[in-house]
Structure formats: C-alpha cells, structure tokens
Structure 1
Amino acid sequence: MPSSNPAAAPARGRHDRFWILGAICLAGLVLPLSFTAPPVAIPAIAAELGGSPVALNWMTNAFMLAFGSCLMAAGTLADTYGRKRVFATGIVAFAAVSLLLALAPSLAALNALRVLQGVAAALALAGGNAALSQEFHGPARIRAFSLLGTAFGLGLAFGPSLAGWLVQAQGWRSVFLSSLAIAVLATVFGLPRMRESRDPDAGGLDWRGSLSSTAMLALLTIGVLEAPERGWGDPWVLGALIGSALLLVWFVRIENRAQRPMLDLSLLRYPRFVGAQLLPIGTGLCYLALIVLLPVRLIGIHGLGTLDAGLMMIALSAPMLVVPMLAAVLNHRVGASTLCAAGLLLAAAGLAWLGWAAGRGEVAGLVAPMLLIGTGSAIPWGLMDGLAISVVPKERAGMAAGVFGASRVSGEGIALAIVAAALAGLLQWRLGQGGAAAGEALNQAAQRLATGDAVRAQALLPQFAPAALRAAYDSAFAWLMYALAGATAVVAWVVYALLGPVAEPAAQMAASAEALCEDGVR
C-alpha cells in the first residue's frame, strides 16, 4: 500500500511539483468561481429557462449545500483510498458536470446538476489539499498553500466580474464552459505528475461518521441559507438548525467510539488546531461579508453602474494578488499567530474606517478603507490553508483538509447569514426611529433596502423620501461595520492566543506541529 511518507516514494522533481501545484491551484480557483459566478447569470438564465425566484436561488444554494456537507467525508475518503484518486475523481467529475450544465435544457436539470457539481468540488478540494501536503514540506509547504489560498481568494473576488463579462459577451452557458476549461487544464497538467498517497493505517471508511457528519452539515447549510429569507424563527429554519445540533451530538458519540474515526476528536485538545478552524470566521466577517454587501450598496443605494462598482471592488480584491505570498515570505521570520492576528486587526481598523466613511454617505472615500481591509484579510488568507494541514500529522492530511473545508464553508456561511440578518435588523430599527410603524410593511421594506432595492422599499414606506431612506441605510451600514470591526478584533485576539503568542517561523512549524499532535492521534 502506498505510504504518506515522502521518503518511501520516488524522488519528485521540482518541475513536476510545479505542475502539480499549478493544477491544484487551478482547482482552487475554479471551485469558488463556481460559487460566485453563476449567481450573476441568474437574470439571463431566468430569461431563457424561466423559473420562480426560489428555484433560481437554489441554483446557488444547491451547490453550497452539496459542497459544504460533503467536505469532511471527502477528506476521509482521500486518506483511505488515496489523495490522487479522490482528486482525480473530483476534478474529472467536475469537468463533466460543467459540460452538462452548459447544455442544461431546464432549470430543474440545472439545479440537479449543481448538486453533483458541489459533490465533485468537495472531492477535488479535499483530495487536492491533502495531495499538496505530501509534495511540499517545511517552508515550501507554507509557500505552496499561500498560492492555493491566493487562487481561492481570486476565484471568490473576481468570479462575479468574469461572469458578468462572459454573460454579456457569450451568454450564460459560457460561465459553465469556463469552469470546464479550467478543470480540464488542471486534469491534463496535474494528474499525470501526481503520485498516489494515503494513510497507511486507514482501516476503511467510517460510514456511520461520514453519514452523520454529512447530514449534520447539510441541515446546518439549509438552515443558514434559508434564514435570511425566512427569518431565524421560521419553523423550517429552526427545525434544520435543531436537527443539525442533534446530529452533531450523535456524530461526537460515534467518533468517540470508533476505532479509526473520520475526525479525531482528541485534536480539539490542541489550541493550534482549534485556532486554525477559527481563521475562516475572521476572514468571513471582514472580507467575504463585504464582497456581498458592498456591490449592493454601490449599485442599489449609490446608483453606480455594474462596471463602475466592479472597478471599485478591485480595491478590496487586488491585495489578494500579492499579499498572501508576502505573508508566506514573512512567515520565515515571524510566527503565523502574529501575522494572522496583525492582519485581522488591520482589517478591523479598515472596517471601522469604512463605517465612518459610509455613515457620511461617501463613495470615493470608501476606496482607501477597502484597500486596508483587503490587505489585512489577505494576510491570514494566505496562511490558513497551510496551518490547517500542518497542525496534524501528514498521514491524516485528508482529514485535516476535510475538517478545515467544512469549518470554512460553514463558518463563512453562518457569518454571511448573520451579517445579512443584522443589516436588515438595523435598518428596521433606524426606519422605526424615523417614524415607520411596526408591522409587515416595515419588515419587508427593511429586507428590500438591505438588498439594495430602494425603489420597492419606498413603495412600501411612501412617507419616507429617498434621501431619508438613504440616510437610514448609511447609518445602519455604519453601525454594522463597527460591529464587524469589533467582532474581527475579538477573533484576532482569540486566534493569537490559540495559535501561540510566541512567534514560530515556518521553518520550525511543521516539525513542532507534528510533534505536538503525535500523541493525540496515535
């Protein structure tokens, strides 16, 4: 049986490793692209295929549901049956499904295929991350994972812009064809050079743990996705969240009794492992939330065109091109805990600055704080993938990749849902202070205004002039930014404490992390 030990495998040339890294980074680019790009094509899809708003929204939700709920099981599959095999299965299936999506004859077929695409994406991400950890070691691993984090961030940040251009130039089906092209490149250039590796002590898949974790994450994802539209008190939302909590308890019991669990719960005793899982929550609060909120503000409230809004968003996204690699270079001399905490604190300062500028109704004044937020967020973004893999022995790299992927998707999804609900709640409070009577009209107007639909919000509250609605939005948005700044600063402090306040450069991190976890995973 192939081993995870690099010494037991044939020597891998630097040229081959370069192609493997490039292929996995292409996969890391196309997977978030598949989440952020298709929603831009929804109007064009609706014009051709029809469908209700709920059915159209599930084109995005179906992908996220399948992707997020399958990540942990995919990581265990990679350790058990081989990282290359799981990555190959995922990326080839992703390419095939992308082609079928481009040929989809109906919205129902499109949504069903998006579920399959999400499953394929989970296999490709977990298998690719685990395979990458076998090819690079020490400081080289930090640099490799910083590149992967950069690719992932670029897919999230620039997906909407690419999709908008493709829809306008070639139609909505070209969005899925672009995913097909990138997946084919990753397959052709990466797979022939990738070696197989797996956990030599794996005794088979923990089916009970896999099924319970997948069901738990599926219900959690459903609850988070439906909460902004239905409300947190809706019976379906509450049922999904309560069901997820009960399945979590069952999952913990299963894993505690399993001889070879898919998630070694003893790792939760190690602060560094927990700290690595918290990093996506911090970046979700200070970066991903703005990717969703700012275009709505710029287009719906300030009246900017799509192109102008996209150009402004470059201030938030551009640091992802260079800062993650700079963070990897700095990590040779400065500990990851210090870098991650400093980055999150920079982002928190930028959020406070953004809130001040937004409260004054500025547009051009938003650019500088956006640049500061993007720079601060990009520092931990370039390190957290490598940290998540490095805090466990390499034999369990697939498990670490799956757990981190699941915590990333779940944490970011929860952060986005809470931010959306908080903005609507703050708007409802501000409009109520302005004289709007409590009731369904106020609730609906707040929801419409939170999504940038000022015209319908005013139709629901005709007593408010457009300037008054905008002032209410500016005030609510400012307070939301202050709250996010505080929450990001708290995450920065907790991450710094858990990852270790004593600086540990990348040269020592891999060895010390494996030694730290060795006793807990034997």
Structure 2
Amino acid sequence: MTQTITRPRTAEQALVLLSVCLAAAAMPLTFTGPAVALPAIGKALGGSPIALNWVTNAFMLTFGSSLMAAGGLADAYGRKRVFLIGVGAFAVLSMALAVAPDILWFDLGRAAQGVAAAAAFSGGMAALAQEFDGASRIRAFSIVGTSFGIGLAFGPIASGLMIDAFGWRSIFGLVVVLAVLALALGARVLQESRDPDAAGLDWPGAASFTLALALFTYGALLAPERGWYEPGVMSLLAGSVLLFIAFVVIEGRVARPMLDLSLFRYPRFVGVQLLAAAPAYAFVVLLILLPVRFIGIEGLSEIAAGRLMIALSAPLLVLPIAAGLLTRWFAPATICGAGLLICAAGLFWLSRVPLGGETMGIAMPMALIGIGISLPWGLMDGLAVSVVPRERAGMATGIFSTTRVAGEGVALAVVSAVLSALTAGHLAAGATTAHAGPAAQRLVTGDIASAAAALPQMSRTALVQGYGEAFATVLVMLCAVTVVTAIVVFAFLGRGGEQGAEPAVEAQERLRTSEA
C-alpha cells in the first residue's frame, strides 16, 4: 500500500504541475541548445569528432540509463526528495558547463547533467502520478508533454539569439533560470510520498543496464572511424550484448526488480514502449542533425537555423493537448498510428529537398514531421502510467522514459554512424577511402573546413553534395522504420482498451506481493 496525498484538489495542485513543467521545459534546452552551438563549441574547445559527438551523447546516455534507477529511488526514498535533489544538481551542473575549460570537462559535465536530469524527471513525474487520477492524470501528463514542446520549439531560436549576442556559453542561462524556479516552487508545494513496499535500488540491475548502454554507444561512435568489424568496436558491442543479457537475468531473479519483466506479457505495455522509442529516430535525431547541417554545412547563422527549427518543433506547443481531446472520438491506437504515418510522409518529403533549398521548401516537410510526432507525444506519458498499479508509478515512468531517452541516445549514435559511413562512401568515389572516412566524420559534426583540409583534391561543392546525398538516404531509412513502427504500435495498442489492461496488471502485482 502506498502513502498517498489526501489534501483537496486546489490551486496548490496546479502549482505542483507548474513546478514539474518548469523542469520539463528546461530539459530539451539542454540538447537543442548544444546542437545549435556545436560548431561554435568545436571552435572554442577543440576536440575530435568523437569528443564532439559526446557533447550530445553523454547527456542522452546518462539520462536514459539512469531513469529506471531514479524511478526506483523516487518510489523508495521519496518522490519530492529525488525531484529536488535532481533539479538542484541540474542547475548547478548547468552553471558549471558554462565555464568548462576544455572539451573533456565539458563532456564529463554533460554526463553528470544527464544523471541529475533523470532524477528530476523521474521524481517529478512519479509525484504527478500521486497528485492526479484518471482523466485528470492524462491531462496533466499531456501538459508536461506540451512543456517539453515549448522547450523544443523555442530552444533553437533562443539559443541562436543568445549565441549571437553573448556567445555559446550563454545558452545555459535560461536552463538555470527554469531549474531554479522549479526548485523553489517544488520545495514549497510538493508533499512527500513513497512506496512503503519498495526495497531500495536494484544496484546490480542498474549497473549492468548502464554499462550495457555505455558500451553500445561508445562502440557506435567509434565505428565510423575504425569500422564496424574492427576488434575494439566488436568487443564493445559484444560486451554490450552480454551485459544486456545479464541485466535480464538479474531482473528475473531479484524480489523487487527495477524492471518488472512480467509487464512485457501485456501487449499494450509493449506497444507503449515501442511508441516511446518512435520519436527517437523519427524526430529527436533531427533536432541534433538539422542544426549542424544548417549552420555547419549550409552556412546559415545560428539565429536563422534556430528560426527554421521552429517549423519542426512548434506543433508540440498545442497538438499534444489536442491529441488528448481527440481521444473522446478516436482510440489512442488510431491517433498514434496516424501520427507516425504523417511523420513518415514528412521524412520522405524532406529527403527530396536538396541542400541549400528555399526556406519554405524545407520548412513545410519539417512542419509535417512535427505535426505527425505531436499526436502520439500527447498520449505517451499518460498511457505509460495507465498500465501499472499506482504505487509503481515511479517504475512505470522510469521504464517508459528510459525506453524513450535511451532510444534517443542509441538512435543518435547509430544514425550519426550511418550518416558518416554513407557520406564516406560518396566521398570515396573521388578520393582514397583512408581520407574519405575522416572527412566524412568532420562533415557530420558540421566542420566543413577540416573536411576540405582532409580532402584537398575535392571541391567544397563535391563535399556538400556527398553529404547531401547521404543525408537524403538516411531520411528515407528513417521513413521506412517509422512506417513499420506505426503498423506495429497500432496493432499492439489496439488490443484492448486502457482501462481493461490495468486490472490485469494490478492482479499480477497482488499475486507477486502475496508470493513474496
């Protein structure tokens, strides 16, 4: 039995939601901002292509791999406590990143920032699950999704304006302000709650999962430079597979697992996890790759690139809430599947737009992608907590958010590696393979000057053309994967209604408790 909050529904409840939304709005700024600033960061701090890739991947890796552990800690030691510790550390680390002396310290700070973000997100979402019930819970989670949309929509343009006026280090200023506001408000209005039956953190499970993700991401980042069949890369990937297997074995044996494997018996739960992974390769990778393309390859200013990125993310400002309203007339499976198909159409359309095209020609397919992904975005978080008992809300949020964020980190590493390999293949037609690979890696990070230095025999036009053809191929691949995901998600989420799935999970939980 969980400790619940029994105060009446008042304006204070809205303040709790506001506190979590402020923290949620700050988090997307931490990866859209550095994406816009990546060329400037590379010039200021130096670093190899792999080190620059870690600017984004370090945050996503630790964020994704820590979410389930943070959810377990929130259930065991208090949702408010974990939320406040996470938001406070997030603010401090954001300030530290603004004064990082070199790329090594910057990447380490990004990794630590991801851990803090995981604590803030898991603690805050688990606290919300205690504050709201039924339809109001779905609406609350939809509002949190909209807060993410605000951060995504205005992050690129806000970062561009700050970089232009004050330099790239200023991009963390807005993050600090939002985090401090969330901390002050949360400390005042949140009431503590926890799961009395929680048995502490599953440390072996957390360690094996985190190491597995780290090895896979590092291997994927090294692959463009060394090749997928290089012994070191293969060892990293093999070690990742073994650790994932160990994680599954550990979770099947512990009394109170971080990941309850029995939940995967329910088609709707599996469907929600697949849905959580879909935005990673259909949308989030574009938040990182497109600013690098616009600024580093096409030569746009940070402000112009940020303004153009609004077309991709602005639909997240309103459509997540609209999707929640649409559930009055359409099943969530229909809305989610249709949204992913719309997103796939936008990806294919964008693949047909050449580099250097007119602004409207680029903005329209980007807007279609944003519209498509906004429909499932507004339903995902509410669906995630609807398929487990209320007292395991921290675990449910952790599993769902881990799938989403870890999927983003893995998708970014894999897509970047594929883009680099495809670019090297196009460049190799006019140069030696040994030189094409390093040049392609520099192009993927937006450093066209270093790419030209690595291949002096190729013109700038030829370099851009090779990158553009590879980018188009990647978009077609992402389109195909999104179509397949839409079909699978529609089939899985269409099996039974939301309310029908929850009692089955509650019965399973009661059975597990009685056996323990």
TM-score, length of structure 2 as denominator length: 0.89
Answer whether contact 2:157 2:306 (CA < 8 A) is retained: yes
Amino acid at match of 1:517: V
How much does 1:469 deviate? Answer: 4.1
Q: What is aligned with 2:154?
A: 158
Change (3 A) 1:173 1:354: closer
1:68 counterpart = 2:64:
yes
Q: What is aligned with 2:507?
A: 519
> Could you tell which deviates more after superposition, 203-212 or 182-191?
203-212
> Could you tell which deviates more after superposition, 86-95 or 106-115?
106-115
> Which residue of 271, 288, 292 corresponds with 2:267?
271
Q: Work out the number of aligned pairs and report it.
A: 510
Answer whether contact 2:88 2:180 (CA < 8 A) is retained: yes
> Could you tell which deviates more after superposition, 483-492 or 12-21?
12-21
**Percent identity of the aligned residues?**
53
Structure 1 residues without counterparts, runs of 5 or longer: none
Q: What is aligned with 1:443?
A: 437
1:262 counterpart = 2:250:
no
Q: What is aligned with 1:241?
A: 237
Once residues 182 and 85 of structure 1 are traced to their aligned partners in structure 2, the CA distance between those partners, rounded to angstroms, is 18
How much does 1:295 deviate? Answer: 2.5
1:412 counterpart = 2:411:
no
How much does 1:46 deviate? Answer: 6.9
How much does 1:491 deviate? Answer: 0.5
1:476 counterpart = 2:470:
yes
How much does 1:221 deviate? Answer: 3.8
- Mapping of residues 208-223 of structure 1, within 5 Å: 208-223=204-219
Q: What is aligned with 1:498?
A: 492
Once residues 149 and 29 of structure 1 are traced to their aligned partners in structure 2, the CA distance between those partners, rounded to angstroms, is 9
How much does 1:68 deviate? Answer: 2.4
Answer whether contact 1:199 1:395 (CA < 8 A) is retained: yes
Q: What is aligned with 2:127?
A: 131
1:293-323 per-residue CA deviation (whole Å, 9 max, x = no partner) reads 3223333443333322222221111111111
- Mapping of residues 366-385 of structure 1, within 5 Å: 366-385=362-381
Once residues 299 and 39 of structure 2 are traced to their aligned partners in structure 1, the CA distance between those partners, rounded to angstroms, is 19
Once residues 183 and 364 of structure 2 are traced to their aligned partners in structure 1, the CA distance between those partners, rounded to angstroms, is 40
Answer whether contact 1:157 1:291 (CA < 8 A) is retained: no
Describe the SS at the equivalent of 1:357. coil
Change (3 A) 1:55 1:346: closer
Describe the SS at the equivalent of 2:354. helix
Change (3 A) 1:236 1:61: farther
1:328-380 per-residue CA deviation (whole Å, 9 max, x = no partner) reads 11123322111111000001111111122338955531221111111001111
- Mapping of residues 64-143 of structure 1, within 5 Å: 64-102=60-98, 110-143=106-139
How much does 1:140 deviate? Answer: 1.6
> Which residue of 176, 181, 184 corresponds with 1:185?
181
Change (3 A) 1:289 1:173: closer
How much does 1:124 deviate? Answer: 0.7
> Which residue of 317, 340, 345 corresponds with 2:341?
345
> Could you tell which deviates more after superposition, 485-494 or 142-151?
142-151
Change (3 A) 1:518 1:85: same
> Which residue of 1, 9, 15 corresponds with 2:11?
15
How much does 1:496 deviate? Answer: 0.8
Answer whether contact 1:65 1:222 (CA < 8 A) is retained: no
Q: What is aligned with 2:278?
A: 282
How much does 1:149 deviate? Answer: 1.6
How much does 1:127 deviate? Answer: 0.8
Once residues 180 and 356 of structure 2 are traced to their aligned partners in structure 1, the CA distance between those partners, rounded to angstroms, is 48
Once residues 13 and 446 of structure 2 are traced to their aligned partners in structure 1, the CA distance between those partners, rounded to angstroms, is 46
Answer whether contact 1:350 1:373 (CA < 8 A) is retained: yes
1:168 counterpart = 2:164:
yes
Once residues 66 and 385 of structure 2 are traced to their aligned partners in structure 1, the CA distance between those partners, rounded to angstroms, is 18
How much does 1:45 deviate? Answer: 6.1
Structure 2 residues without counterparts, runs of 5 or longer: 511-516
Answer whether contact 1:74 1:402 (CA < 8 A) is retained: yes
Answer whether contact 1:49 1:106 (CA < 8 A) is retained: yes
Answer whether contact 1:27 1:183 (CA < 8 A) is retained: yes
Describe the SS at the equivalent of 1:358. coil
- Mapping of residues 42-61 of structure 1, within 5 Å: 58-61=54-57
Change (3 A) 1:330 1:274: same
How much does 1:487 deviate? Answer: 1.0
Answer whether contact 2:38 2:292 (CA < 8 A) is retained: no
Change (3 A) 1:225 1:126: farther
Once residues 172 and 132 of structure 1 are traced to their aligned partners in structure 2, the CA distance between those partners, rounded to angstroms, is 34
Change (3 A) 1:419 1:108: closer
Change (3 A) 1:488 1:181: same
Q: What is aligned with 2:514?
A: none
Answer whether contact 1:267 1:521 (CA < 8 A) is retained: no
Amino acid at match of 2:505: C
Answer whether contact 2:314 2:370 (CA < 8 A) is retained: yes
> Could you tell which deviates more after superposition, 447-456 or 403-412?
447-456
TM-score, length of structure 1 as denominator length: 0.88
Q: What is aligned with 1:386?
A: 382
